Amino acid sequence: MSGKKRPPRRPAQARPVPAKRAEPPAEPRRPFGSALFGQASSVMPPIGRSLGRGLLTIVSSPVLVVVALVLVPLAWFGLLAIGFEGSPSRLVDVLALPPISTYFDLGTAVSIVGFGPAFLVFTGAAILIRSLVYAVLTGVILEALEDGRVSSYGVLRGVGAIPTVVVVQVLSFSLIVVGNLIFPILGPGLGFLAFVAALVAGLFFLGFAPTAAIRQRRGITETLRRSGRAAMLPGSRQLLFCTLYFFVALPVVVGFAPGGSDVTANPTLGTWIFALAVNVLHLGFMAALSYRWIVAEPSVPDQPVRRRKAARQPSARPRGRR
Amino acid sequence: MRPRHPEELLSPTPNRPSSRAALAAGLTILVLAAVAPGAIAQEADATWPQYQGGAAHPGALAEGPQPPFRVRWMLPAPAGEALSAAIVVGDRAISVGSEAVYAIDLQTGVEETIAARSGGPLSVPAFATVGSTPMVLYLEGPEASGAGASPTPSGTPSPTQATTTSPGSEAVGPDEEVPASFLVAVSLEDRSELWRVPFGATTRSGVTVDGGTAYVGDQQRHVVAIALEDGSVVWTADVPGRVDAPVAVADGRVYVVARDGAAGQATIVALDAATGERAWAVVPQATSTLASAPSAGGGSVFVGAADRLVRSLAPEDGAERWTSLVLSFFTPFTALAVAEGAVYAADVTAGLYRLDAADGRRRWGFQLNDRVIRSAPVVSGSTVLLGLNDGRLVAIDTDSGHLVWESEASPGLVGTIALGTDVVVAVKGGRDAGLIAFEHDPDGALVDVPSPTELDAGTTFSRYGIAAAIVLILALIPGIALRRRLGPVDLTGGVDLDDEEPAGGTDEGVEG
C-alpha cells in the first residue's frame, strides 16, 4: 500500500448534495475527447478502480453470484421451452447491459419467430422481463455497494426503477431497429461501424439511468438527462468504459465461447462454465457503473451545462453547476 | 474408345411396382407418343434422369439404396477442377466436366467420354429419349479464355429453324454473332451431336426436361424452351433476374427462381410451359437474392428463401398456402425434396427439416451443425440423404428424424446427390474433386442419434450443476477473502470532495 494520505471514509448511503458547492455560472470549454480519454481532474473514478470495486462487490456477495448462476439456466430452459433453436454461446450475454442485452433479445426473437407480429410480441415481453430483472439487480447491487449486504430492501428499491428501465430498454430497442434501417445506407463497412458506435452511444448515455433512478427518484426524463450529463462529465472516461464493455461483451466473449456456433440444446461443461463466469462479469460491469454513478453523483449538474467560449481556465477541477 | 450400344448403356429400369402400374405407364407413354410424335418417356430408362430426379425436382427414389453405406468408388475429375452433379441412366452416371461429358460405370467408377466440351460453368445435364434415340443434354461454354465459343457445326436440324418465338428471343438464335454458350444434345447411341442451340449469355442453370421440351435459364434473364426433337426454340421468356438453378416443371407450369443482384431480390416466376407466358411472380423477400431452386409436388410449389421461410405456393396464382420458419437461409444450389406428403428442406447451417406438405407443420428437425452450400436433400426409401461441407454424407430416418448413419468427414464437400437403385452418386469437392459413389454396406452398423436440439435433461443438468459449483467456488472464495481483507467499498472513489487537489488520476484499487 502506498503511504498516501487516505480520504476519510464516508457513510455508505445516498448523500445529500453539499450546500456549499456554489458553482461558477458556466463550464469552461473541455478539451476534445475528454470523455473518452479522461483527464486527471475528473470526479469519475478510473476504469480500473471502477471495475475492481464492481467485481469485488459481486464476487463477495453469495446472493449476487447465485443470482447470476440461476438466471442463466433459467433463461436457457425458458428459451428452449418456447422453441428456441440456437447456439448456447448466446448464454454469455443473458445478463448483459442494454443495449447489448437488447441486441441479444432481438436476435433471439428473430431466431424463434422470425419477423412479423409475433416478433413484436416476443420483443415486448422480453423488454418487460428484462426490465424487471435489470431494475431489481441494480437495486440489490446498489445495496451491496452501499451497505455491503443484499436484502429485500434492495429488491424493493429496484422495483421502483422499473419504469425508467423499461424506457431505457425501449430506447435501446429503437436504437437498434433504427440503426438497422439507416446504417446500411452507409455501406457494409461504414454502416457496421456506425451501428457499433450507436450501441456504444446507447450504453454511454443510458448506462447510469437505472442507478440514478433508484438513488434520486426523479422523473424518467430527468433521470435519463442526468444519466447523459454524468456520462458527459469532463474526463469521465465513460466512453472508454462503454467501448471496453462493448468489445468484451460482444466480439471477445462471443468469439471465445466454447462450442462456437453449434446449435444444440445441451451446452457442454465448458460452455456452462464460460457462460456463467461471463455473466458474473456482466454483473461486475453493472456494479462498476453503479459505483461510478455514486461517486460522481454530487457533481452531476442539475441543468444542462452551458459551454463558455472563453479561454480555458486554469481550474484544476471542473464541476457541475447546481 | 469402343462405342457402346445403347442396350449396354441403358439397362432396363428395375422399378416395377406392379403390373398394373407398368401397364398404366405403358399406356401413358403410348398416349404421349401419339400426342407428341418423337417425344418420349425418358423416365422409363433412368432412375435419376436430371437434377433432383425429375422435372419437378422431387428428389426422391422410393427404391433407393438404404444405409449403412460404404464408398464404392471415387472419381477425380479427369480434366479440369471438378465435375458437375451427376444423373443416373441405367448402369451409368453421366456428369459434365470442363473438357468433356463423361459416362461413368456405376459398378467400377471407370469413366468414358461421351462428348468433348469447350469449357464453361459446370451444370447438371439431363437425359431424354426422342423416338428411339436416347440423348444427353448439357450446357457448354463460354470457354475459360473469356472469348465466346465459336459455333461448332452441328447436327441437323439447325436451331435457326425456330418454330416459335416469344419476347426476348433475340438473345437466342442465329442473330448472335458470338454465342456465349450452347445447349448441346448428344446421342447416346453413337455419341454424335444431334443439335446445339446457341445462347447469347452464359448459362449455368443446368437442363430440365419435361415431355418433349428442354428448359434452360441464362444469366441475362431469359428462360428458353427448346424442342428435343430438333433443337428448335419453342419460346423464350424474360424473367426478372439471372437464372442460376435448374427450373422446375410441373402441372403445365415452368417455375423459375430469378435472382436480381441490382435490386437485391429473388423472384419466383411461373411460366406457362406451352407458351412461356408469365402466369405469376412472387417476391419472397426484398433484401436478398438467396433462394433455393424450386420444387413442385402434390399440387404446390416449394421454395426456401433468405428470410428463412419455406413457402408453399399455389401453382395457379402463386398464392401463399403456408410458410414454415427454419433456422437459417437457403442457397441457390439447394432444392427441397418432396415425397409422400412431406417436404424436406436443408438450410445453409445444415438444419434438415421434415415439413408436412399440406400445412407446413414441422414434424422434425435435425441440426447437423455444418454447412450445406451445394447439396440438396434426397429421399432414398425411408431415409433422407444429405451431403455436408465437411465431407460427410448423412442419412436421417424419415419417420423418427434421427441420424441413422453418417460417413467419415473428409476434405472437400459432398454436394448434389443422384440416386440409382443400388448406388448413391454425389459430387465431391476438395483436392481431388469429382464424384463419389456409396453403396449399401451389409457389414455396416446403423446408429440412432437424436438431433442435438432435443434436450437431454440428465446430461445438461449435470453439466450445469458442475459448472455452477466451479464458478461459485472460483468467484466466492477469493471474493470473500478479498472483502474481508479490504473492508467495505469506499464510495468516495478515493476522492475527498472537499479537497481541491485532483485525485482521479490515481488508481489504488480497493481500500484496505
Compare A166 and A30 and report the one with higher pLDDT. Answer: A166
Q: What is the three-class DSSP state of A313?
A: coil
Share of chain B above pLDDT 90, in %: 73
B40 has a pLDDT exceeding 60: no
Share of chain A above pLDDT 70, in %: 82
Judge residue B156's burial from the number of C-beta atoms within 10 Å of its C-beta, 0-12 exposed, 13-18 middle, 19 or more buried.
exposed
**pLDDT computed for residue B310 by the predictor:** 96
**pLDDT computed for residue A239 by the predictor:** 93
B96 has a pLDDT exceeding 50: yes
Which residue, A17, A10, A107, A44, is CA-closest to A298? Answer: A17
Chain Cα centroid distance, residue B394:
16
B304 has a pLDDT exceeding 60: yes
Among A87-91, A172-176, A191-195, B172-176, name the one with the lowest average pLDDT.
B172-176
**pLDDT computed for residue A30 by the predictor:** 52
- List all residues 6 or more positions away from A50 whose beta carbon is below 8 Å from its beta carbon: A241, A288, A289, A291, A292
B334 has a pLDDT exceeding 70: yes
Which residues in chain A are contacts of B351 at CB distance < 8 A? 85, 263
Q: Which residues pair with B364 in a beta bridge?
A: B354
Of B307, B369, B454, the CB nearest to A262: B369
Q: Quickly count: other Cβ atoms within 10 Å of residue B512's Cβ.
A: 10
Q: Which of A276, A279, A294 to mutate to test the interface with B (most CBs of B within 10 A)?
A: A276
**pLDDT computed for residue B177 by the predictor:** 60
Rg of chain A taking only CA atoms, in angstroms: 20
**pLDDT computed for residue B176 by the predictor:** 46
Distance from CA of A113 to the nearest CA of B (A): 7
What b/e sequence results for B95-126 when a residue is b if at least 16 CB atoms lie within 10 Å of its CB, and e otherwise?
Answer: bbbbbbbbbbebeebebbbbbebbbbbbbbbb
Q: Tell me if B500 and A267 make a contact (CB, 8 A cut-off).
A: no
pLDDT, tens only, B339-375: 999 999 999 999 999 999 999 999 999 999 999 999 9
Q: Which of B320, B369, B491, B497 to mutate to test the interface with A (most CBs of A within 10 A)?
A: B491
Which residues in chain A are contacts of B452 at CB distance < 8 A? 262-266
Helices (H) and strands (E) in chain B, counts: 3, 34
Q: Tell me if A111 and B327 make a contact (CB, 8 A cut-off).
A: yes
**pLDDT computed for residue A237 by the predictor:** 87
What gap in Å lies between CA A184 and CA B144, rounded to an integer? 36
Q: How many CB pairs under 8 A join A and B?
A: 182
Q: Tell me if A56 and B460 make a contact (CB, 8 A cut-off).
A: no
Mean pLDDT to the nearest integer, A50-63: 94
**pLDDT computed for residue B14 by the predictor:** 34
Mean of all residue pLDDT scores within chain A: 83
Distance from CA of A160 to the nearest CA of B (A): 23
B466 has a pLDDT exceeding 80: yes
Helical residues (DSSP H) of chain A, grouped into ranges: 34-37, 47-59, 62-81, 100-113, 117-147, 152-160, 162-182, 188-206, 209-216, 220-231, 238-247, 253-256, 269-296
Of A52, A56, A294, the CB nearest to B491: A294
Rg of chain B taking only CA atoms, in angstroms: 28
**Which residue from A minimizes the CA distance to B367?**
A263
**pLDDT computed for residue B491 by the predictor:** 72
pLDDT, tens only, A6-56: 444 444 444 444 444 444 444 455 555 555 555 556 788 999 999 999 999
Of B351, B455, B493, the CB nearest to A266: B455
Distance from CA of A181 to the nearest CA of B (A): 12
pLDDT, tens only, B478-508: 999 998 888 777 777 554 444 444 333 333 3
Mean pLDDT to the nearest integer, B255-273: 94
Give the alpha-carbon dihedral of B76, B79, B81, B86, to 10 degrees. Answer: -60
**pLDDT computed for residue B381 by the predictor:** 95
Q: Which residues pair with B426 in a beta bridge?
A: B417, B436
Mean of all residue pLDDT scores within chain B: 84
Angle subtended by helix axes A209-216 and A269-296, to nearest 10:
50
Q: Cα dist. A200→A22, A103, A197, A242, A249 in Å? A: 33, 12, 5, 6, 11
**pLDDT computed for residue A245 by the predictor:** 93
**pLDDT computed for residue B195 by the predictor:** 96
A289 has a pLDDT exceeding 80: yes
Lookup: cell for B27: 399406356
**pLDDT computed for residue A33 by the predictor:** 52
**Which residue from A minimizes the CA distance to B306?**
A114
Q: Which of B287, B329, B471 to mutate to test the interface with A (most CBs of A within 10 A)?
A: B471
**pLDDT computed for residue B154 by the predictor:** 33
B35 has a pLDDT exceeding 60: no
Among A147-161, A177-191, B450-464, name the one with the lowest average pLDDT.
A177-191
Which residues in chain B are contacts of A69 at CB distance < 8 A? 468, 471-472
B294 has a pLDDT exceeding 90: yes
Of A2, A66, A115, the CB nearest to B508: A2
Q: Tell me if A59 and B486 make a contact (CB, 8 A cut-off).
A: no
pLDDT, tens only, A95-136: 999 999 988 899 899 889 888 888 999 999 999 999 999 999
Which residues in chain A are contacts of B308 at CB distance < 8 A? 114
B153 touches B221 (CB < 8 A): no
pLDDT tier at B29 (50, 70, 90 boundaries)? very low
Q: Which residues pair with B324 in a beta bridge?
A: B310
Share of chain B above pLDDT 70, in %: 80
**pLDDT computed for residue B486 by the predictor:** 84
**pLDDT computed for residue A308 by the predictor:** 56
ipTM of the complex as predicted: 0.82
pLDDT, tens only, A196-224: 899 999 999 999 999 999 999 899 999 99
Q: What is the three-class DSSP state of B320?
A: strand
**pLDDT computed for residue B512 by the predictor:** 25
Q: Quickly count: other Cβ atoms within 10 Å of residue B143's Cβ.
A: 17
What gap in Å lies between CA B103 and CA B81, rounded to an integer? 17
Which residues in chain B are contacts of A1 at CB distance < 8 A? 508, 512
B181 touches B156 (CB < 8 A): no
Share of chain A above pLDDT 90, in %: 57
pLDDT, tens only, B172-208: 544 446 788 999 999 999 999 999 999 999 999 999 9
